[in-house]
């Protein structure tokens, strides 16, 4: 949802309504209200919602009256990525620099002021029912307006994970939503527990580890030596335990690596900017050392050899007529 193509006078009212409908009712003010620029990208992941917000400087106020009017009873996890953000709730304040995270509660009065000068700032928001965060309620309440860094470790992984969910929703199936939401909350819980030296449930630790392993695999898909042994060693677990993690998800390690490589190769084959790259070059880029093996694996996964897939991907009408094969 964007104000880009709206008449200048309609942009800020549209943005106020957008925030009301997708997050919660707020009083909004901005010195740029006469020609406001903003964009919201959001994806529903189970009971949670992940959003990326790009906007000019704005002041937001969630009053007791607005809370009585409508309250989703959510926690919001805000991650500032650009500019400076000042937040206040329950007499606690958080001044967020780029790379900082904090929590706030939609059921309590809340004030937020963003400072972007004449430019645009942006950040991520993870909204979820309060009972879904797998940490004790009394501990979570103590975290409101606490400031945490997402510049490294699990916080950085959470930021990357949410960004990928929001900007590339097409790579996930609708049936994945609940699992993706659970992983997001487990990553958040693991980060908060690490910062506070708290103990989290074993399942949360397991999901956070699996998310780190998935991220590691995606970062090393082009390495032909990406084996279960190498993956296990990088995460200080046994190869046997690594296989168990994937088995519990109904997958194998090798099958997951192969599918992720094929997905990346398929994307390149459909990309007009990669049209001059030989098919064997695309295969090698994503870790397939043997072009013939790549061709067989690609055909088994998508029903077409790579050359035919690339040809059809360049013909929109053919692609629409072959939707059963071009998945």
CATH number of domain containing 323:
1.10.10.60
Cα–Cα dist 311/216, whole Å: 32
Mean pLDDT of all residues in 143-171: 90
Place of tokens 């900007």: 167
Q: Kindly report the average pLDDT of the chain as a whole number.
A: 88
The arrangement of strands across the sheet holding 38-45 comes to 38-45, 48-55, 121-129, 74-80, 100-105, 148-149
Q: Does one domain contain both 253 and 183?
A: no
Residue 226: pLDDT band with limits 50, 70, 90: very high
To which H or E segment does residue 124 belong? strand 121-129
Statement: residue 259 has pLDDT above 50: yes
8 Å CB contact between 129 and 74: yes
Choose one of 194, 218, 242: the last residue of a domain: 218
- Split at pLDDT 50, 70, 90, the class of 179 is confident
Residue that terminates a domain, selected from 154, 184, 218: 218
Q: Please check whether residues 44 and 192 belong to one and the same domain.
A: yes
User: Interhelix angle for 253-269 vs 306-313, to 10°?
Assistant: 40
Is 144 part of a structural domain of the chain? yes
* Same domain, yes or no: 116 and 201: yes
The answer to whether position 2 is within a domain reads no
My answer on whether 20 and 115 are in the same domain is: yes
- Please determine, for residue 84, whether its predicted confidence score (pLDDT) is greater than 90: yes
189 and 157 in a common domain:
yes
Whether 156 and 27 map to the same domain: the answer is: yes
Q: How many domains does the chain have?
A: 2
| Range of lowest pLDDT (32-46, 101-115, 189-203) | 189-203
What range does the domain containing 270 cover?
Answer: 220-327
Residue 1 in any domain: the answer is no
SS3 breakdown of the chain: % helix, strand, coil, rounded to 5? 50, 20, 30
Q: What pTM was computed for the model?
A: 0.68
Asked if pLDDT for residue 282 goes beyond 90, the answer is: yes
Q: Please determine, for residue 140, whether its predicted confidence score (pLDDT) is greater than 70.
A: yes
Q: What's the pLDDT band for 253 if we cut at 50, 70, 90?
A: very high
Region 38-47: what's the mean pLDDT? 92
Whether residue 148 lies inside any domain: the answer is yes
Most trustworthy range by pLDDT among 26-30, 129-133, 288-292 = 26-30
What proportion of the chain, given as a percentage, has pLDDT over 90? 59
- 200 vs 303, more confident: 303
Inside any domain, residue 3 = no
Q: Which residue has 């400087």 as its token pair? A: 57
H runs (alpha helix) in the chain? 8-22, 64-69, 137-143, 153-167, 177-196, 202-219, 228-234, 239-247, 253-269, 279-285, 291-302, 306-313, 316-321
Q: Which two tokens stand for residue 82?
A: 């650009």
Give the torsion sign (CA, 300, 305, 309, 310): positive
Last residue of a domain, one of 218, 251, 282: 218
Is 190 found in the same domain as 42?
A: yes
Judged against a pLDDT cut of 90, whether residue 219 lies above it is answered with no
Q: What is the reported pLDDT for 190?
A: 87
The mean pLDDT of 23-38, rounded to a whole number, is 93
Band of the pLDDT at 124, cuts 50, 70, 90?
A: very high
24 and 100 in a single domain? The answer is: yes
Residues 6+ apart with CB under 8 A from 313: 269, 270, 319, 326
Q: Which CATH number goes with the domain that contains 68?
A: 2.60.120.10
Same domain, 45 and 15: yes
User: Percent of the chain scored above 70 by pLDDT?
Assistant: 95
> What b/e readout covers 218-249, taking b as 16+ CB neighbours within 10 angstroms?
eeebeeeebebeebbeeeeeeeeebbebbeee
For residue 62, what pLDDT is reported?
96
- Say which residue, 46 or 63, is predicted with more confidence: 63
Q: Which two structure tokens, joined as six digits, stand for 146?
A: 């606490």
User: Would you say residue 51 lies in a domain?
Assistant: yes
**CB-based contact 326:311 (threshold 8 Å):** no
In a domain, 237, yes or no: yes
- Report whether pLDDT(325) > 60: no
Mean pLDDT throughout 139-160? 90
My answer on whether 61 and 139 are in the same domain is yes
Q: Is the domain of 196 the same as that of 50?
A: yes
Same domain, 160 and 236: no
pLDDT at 106 over 80: yes
Q: How far is CA 224 from the centre of its chain?
A: 27
pLDDT at residue 315, rounded to an integer:
60
Give SS3 for 252: coil
């Amino acid at each position: 949802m964007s104000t880009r193509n709206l008449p200048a006078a309609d942009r800020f009212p549209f943005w106020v309504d957008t925030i009301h409908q997708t997050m919660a009712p707020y009083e909004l003010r901005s010195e740029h209200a006469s020609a406001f620029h903003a964009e919201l990208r959001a994806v529903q992941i189970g009971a949670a919602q992940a959003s990326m917000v790009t906007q000019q400087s704005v002041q937001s106020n969630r009053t007791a009256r607005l809370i009585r009017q409508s309250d989703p009873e959510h926690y919001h996890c805000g991650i500032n990525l650009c500019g400076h953000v000042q937040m206040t709730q329950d007499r606690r304040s958080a001044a967020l620099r780029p790379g900082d995270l904090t929590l706030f509660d939609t059921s309590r009065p809340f004030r937020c002021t963003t400072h972007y000068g004449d430019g645009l700032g942006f950040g991520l928001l993870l909204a979820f029912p309060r009972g879904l965060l797998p940490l004790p309620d009394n501990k979570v309440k103590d975290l409101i307006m606490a400031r945490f860094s997402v510049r490294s470790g699990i916080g950085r992984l959470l930021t990357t994970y949410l960004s990928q969910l929001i900007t590339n929703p097409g790579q996930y199936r609708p049936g994945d939503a609940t699992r993706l939401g659970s992983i997001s909350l487990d990553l958040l819980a693991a980060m908060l527990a690490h910062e506070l030296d708290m103990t989290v449930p074993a399942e949360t630790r397991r999901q956070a580890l699996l998310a780190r392993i998935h991220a590691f695999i995606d970062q090393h898909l082009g390495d032909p030596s990406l084996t279960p042994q190498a993956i296990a060693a990088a995460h200080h677990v046994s190869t046997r335990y690594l296989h168990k993690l994937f088995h519990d998800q109904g997958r194998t390690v090798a099958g997951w690596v192969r599918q992720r490589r094929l997905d990346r190769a398929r994307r390149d084959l459909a990309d007009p900017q990669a049209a001059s790259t030989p098919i064997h070059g695309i295969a090698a880029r994503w870790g397939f050392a043997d072009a013939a093996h790549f061709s067989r694996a690609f055909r088994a996964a998508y029903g077409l050899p790579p050359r035919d897939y690339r040809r059809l991907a360049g013909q929109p009408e053919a692609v629409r007529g072959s939707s059963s094969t071009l998945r």
